[in-house]
Structure 1
Amino acid sequence: MTNPRVQKAMELINEQEAIDFLRDLIAINSVNPPGAEAAVAEVIQSHLARAGLRAEVDEVLPGRSNVLAELTGVAAENKDQRVLVFSGHLDTVPTGNIPWKHDPFGGERVGNKMYGRGTTDMKGGVAAMVLAMEYLHRAGIKLQGTLRFAGTAGEEVDCLGAKAVAARGQVDDATAMVISEPSSNRPFIAHKGALWLDIVTYGKTAHGSMPEQGVNAITAMARFIHELESYSFTYEHHALLGSPTMNVGVIQGGVKTNVVPDQCSLMLDIRTVPGQVHATIVDELKQLLISVCEPLGAQCEIRVANDLPAVTTDAQHPFIALSQGTMQHLWGTEEPVSGVNYYTDGSIYGPHLQVPILICGPGEPTLAHQPDEWIDTERYLDSIRFYLTLAAAYLGIEEQ
């Protein structure tokens, strides 16, 4: 049975109010690069201020800010109190070259679908977490622990904002975390790591009619790509995440048809599972690259562009069990835990905090980064109910 005061908080949820707030966030272009998340942070700060809650906009770089807010528990002086952190990022990926049928910054609603860049990934989750805090406050609920929201810049590229939060110790007292990345409101407890490599081969320019006078950097890279097809990762199969993957994302080289290219670059996206050592992968690929370049007289280099570890939480952890129990209570369904291939700010927080991390948000994972991205508005409203109920259950409520 739902606590009467939690029930009061849920009754305060106003659909139009929630839709309008999300639309305000969608209307702000925070495509990364360049990000410009400060405008999103300021809207969240202003919204919470009107509700009587204090939020701090924390600049990371010019025009790029995090926003932090909290509901301080009645036992704030108790160092042993629980601290639940709600986490979400404020930037989005670009809208892409494929034309949209709906304005990507318009927040147009058609039935139960609301369209816009970031609706699913992940301004929908951010808005739901902010509103959950607001409704708990408006219901007069006094938590026995602390609920904190950390909205960060830069997750879509390099987790810039989360790195700043960790470096500044702003969530160091966390005892549990929820990240509202898209999961269709299902409980994800693991995600893959990301190792992005910039690889360059260097040759020697010559006239295209006399290729023997030069060293073709594209040929060297082509041979390296061919060898990648037989490259085998060293890893243990993960029950939720399966196996690592590798994708050749970008390749560039050459200046003109009749010129032997002296440079070729490749961007490689590797997604890893827990237990893999990224430095070992880099060393193995470097040796492979050298082995194909040296016979051709080509030079080469590998640069790590992104290095984020995989994240996993024990499925038997009490916080995960509480989250699943909350879902069953609200929706009447048993939701098994699972993992996801994308990465989150959890790659920064996980190693830093060593606390249970739940990934659960109202967006649909398959719609992330897609044209005409949308969110189911009913699922969005459900996520507000989930966040505020989970916060009350985990942190406890002062008896009145």
Structure 2
Amino acid sequence: MSPDVLSLTRELVAVDTIDRDESRTLAVVAPHLEDAGFDVETVEHEPGRGTLIAEWHAGTDTPPLCLSGHVDTVPLGDAEWSRDPFRAEPEGDRLYGRGTTDMKGGVAAIVCAAIGVARSGRMPRAGLRLVLTAAEETGSHGARGALGVLRDRPSGPLLIAEPTAGAVFHGHKGALWLSARAEGVTAHGSMPHLGENAVYKLARAVGTFERFVFTEQAHPAMGAPTLNVGTFRGGLNTNSVPDSAVATVDIRTVPGQDHAAITENLQARVGGDASLEPLIDLPAVWTDPADEWAAAVTAIAADVTGRRSDGDPRAATYFTDASVLTPALGGVPTVVCGPGEPELAHVTDEWVSIARLHESEETFRRVAEAYCRA
């Protein structure tokens, strides 16, 4: 029996995958896929943290369509939830819970759509490949861990079911996260002249970041690249000169920017005040909206939802596993489309529209049918 997208979303949300235990969640969907005729394997990048690869008729002459999403979730935050974040009780059109929007609802829609296509009884000209990943939120570690399996397998286009409120995004910004570390010499706080204050050095570096201006032109869909200093920590106690301080920097890039060049430029500007090291390095992803497959996905989504785009291409500000998967699969056409609301990702009392869950399942099923049966 095929799973229902609402019930499957609730089952996935019930498993706590806040930076852990993704393999337990994948164990929920694996039997459904196997029963529908998929070959299923799990690749763990560390114990208990697996990425599921499920294939159906993937050996045809035409490379399989790839559908992907992640099953890890972010922490709940300090604010109290008004509902149990792991119970996912429906309230009207809303399903509340951690991961409903980002992005277990999208994963459930992928799985249900793929099973529907596999059980239609018609022989395909091309197959399907599902890649359900772990550890996306902290830098796509699960996707990276599966590349040893995926790189050797031909792939067709890629759809990532991250939250877009059912719209089709043709790419997303890249993410370059840096640590900026300053080193000094400790001394008694009453004799600061005997030390070298690392906080002052890092403060000068942060001032350089605040004044930094990107020279690249804004992307027509993504806008301009951005830089934000997210954290600043230094010193151990009030009455000592701090000998260490560290800040983290979040840079969001657009296609064509070289992350290594950005890092070198910033390092040159801060000089000896701080040393910069990458924490996350994920490139931007972009597919021409005129690409035949991408245009077909846009048309199907508009037909299913009844919401026509204004003609302007759209892109996400957040990153996805496409930063890892798209280049590894040979630069395949890639779109982002899922039932979640982008502004509800990571928030307290996160929810997803139940109507959009069903819409996304229908969109994904029709996209897969069009590709696999054409």
Shorter-chain TM-score category? over 0.9
Q: Which deviates the most, 135-144 or 217-226?
A: 135-144
The residue number in structure 2 matching 1:22 is 9
The residue number in structure 1 matching 2:116 is 135
Q: 1:315 to 1:154 in 2, by over 3 A?
A: same
Distance in 1, Cα, partners of 2:72 & 2:333: 24
The residue number in structure 2 matching 1:7 is none
Task: Report the 3-state secondary structure (helix = DSSP H, G, I; strand = E; otherwise coil) of the residue aligned with 1:59.
Answer: strand
Distance in 2, Cα, partners of 1:37 & 1:28: 8
Equivalent pairs: percent with the same residue? 39
- 1:312-345 CA-partner distances (Å, limit 9, x unpaired): 0011100111112212332344224301100001
Distance in 2, Cα, partners of 1:326 & 1:167: 33
The residue number in structure 1 matching 2:47 is 62
Distance in 2, Cα, partners of 1:323 & 1:125: 16
Shift of 1:50: 4.2
Shift of 1:83: 1.6
The residue number in structure 1 matching 2:371 is 394
The residue number in structure 1 matching 2:319 is 343
Distance in 2, Cα, partners of 1:182 & 1:237: 23
Q: In the alignment, is the contact (CA less than 8 A) between 1:42 and 1:57 conserved in 2?
A: no
TM-score in terms of structure 1 length: 0.89
Q: In the alignment, is the contact (CA less than 8 A) between 2:2 and 2:115 conserved in 1?
A: no
Larger Rg: 1
* One-letter amino acid matched to 2:171: A
The residue number in structure 2 matching 1:301 is 275
Task: Report the 3-state secondary structure (helix = DSSP H, G, I; strand = E; otherwise coil) of the residue aligned with 1:126.
Answer: helix
Q: In the alignment, is the contact (CA less than 8 A) between 1:319 and 1:356 conserved in 2?
A: yes
Residue 286 (structure 1) aligned with residue 267 (structure 2): yes
Distance in 1, Cα, partners of 2:371 & 2:365: 10
Q: In the alignment, is the contact (CA less than 8 A) between 1:326 and 1:389 conserved in 2?
A: yes
Q: 1:388 to 1:62 in 2, by over 3 A?
A: same
Shift of 1:13: 8.1
* Corresponding residue to 1:150 among 119, 126, 131: 131
Task: Report the 3-state secondary structure (helix = DSSP H, G, I; strand = E; otherwise coil) of the residue aligned with 1:339.
Answer: coil
Q: In the alignment, is the contact (CA less than 8 A) between 2:64 and 2:129 conserved in 1?
A: yes
Structure 2, unpaired ranges of 5+: none
Q: In the alignment, is the contact (CA less than 8 A) between 2:117 and 2:368 conserved in 1?
A: no
Q: In the alignment, is the contact (CA less than 8 A) between 1:165 and 1:171 conserved in 2?
A: no
Q: In the alignment, is the contact (CA less than 8 A) between 1:191 and 1:339 conserved in 2?
A: yes
Distance in 2, Cα, partners of 1:307 & 1:110: 39
Task: Report the 3-state secondary structure (helix = DSSP H, G, I; strand = E; otherwise coil) of the residue aligned with 1:394.
Answer: helix
Distance in 2, Cα, partners of 1:158 & 1:356: 22
Distance in 2, Cα, partners of 1:245 & 1:50: 46
Distance in 1, Cα, partners of 2:333 & 2:154: 13
Task: Report the 3-state secondary structure (helix = DSSP H, G, I; strand = E; otherwise coil) of the residue aligned with 1:42.
Answer: helix
* Corresponding residue to 2:308 among 334, 338, 360: 334
The residue number in structure 2 matching 1:6 is none
Q: How many residues align?
A: 371
Residue 237 (structure 1) aligned with residue 210 (structure 2): no
The residue number in structure 2 matching 1:383 is 360
* One-letter amino acid matched to 1:21: L
The residue number in structure 1 matching 2:181 is 200
Distance in 1, Cα, partners of 2:302 & 2:202: 52
Q: 1:171 to 1:378 in 2, by over 3 A?
A: farther
Describe how 1:255-274 pairs up with structure 2 within 5 A.
255-274=236-255
Task: Report the 3-state secondary structure (helix = DSSP H, G, I; strand = E; otherwise coil) of the residue aligned with 2:67.
Answer: strand
- 1:233-288 CA-partner distances (Å, limit 9, x unpaired): 23121000010111111111111111111110111111011111111111111122
Q: 1:110 to 1:385 in 2, by over 3 A?
A: same
- 1:1-23 CA-partner distances (Å, limit 9, x unpaired): xxxxxxxxxxx988xx3222111
* One-letter amino acid matched to 1:307: D
Distance in 2, Cα, partners of 1:69 & 1:130: 10
Q: 1:374 to 1:349 in 2, by over 3 A?
A: same
Distance in 1, Cα, partners of 2:63 & 2:317: 30
Superposition RMSD in Å:
1.8
Task: Report the 3-state secondary structure (helix = DSSP H, G, I; strand = E; otherwise coil) of the residue aligned with 1:188.
Answer: coil
Q: 1:357 to 1:219 in 2, by over 3 A?
A: same
* One-letter amino acid matched to 1:103: D
Q: 1:333 to 1:371 in 2, by over 3 A?
A: closer
Distance in 1, Cα, partners of 2:152 & 2:172: 21
Shift of 1:171: 7.2
Q: Which deviates the most, 114-123 or 344-353?
A: 344-353
Distance in 2, Cα, partners of 1:170 & 1:48: 22
Distance in 1, Cα, partners of 2:36 & 2:64: 22
Distance in 1, Cα, partners of 2:8 & 2:323: 28
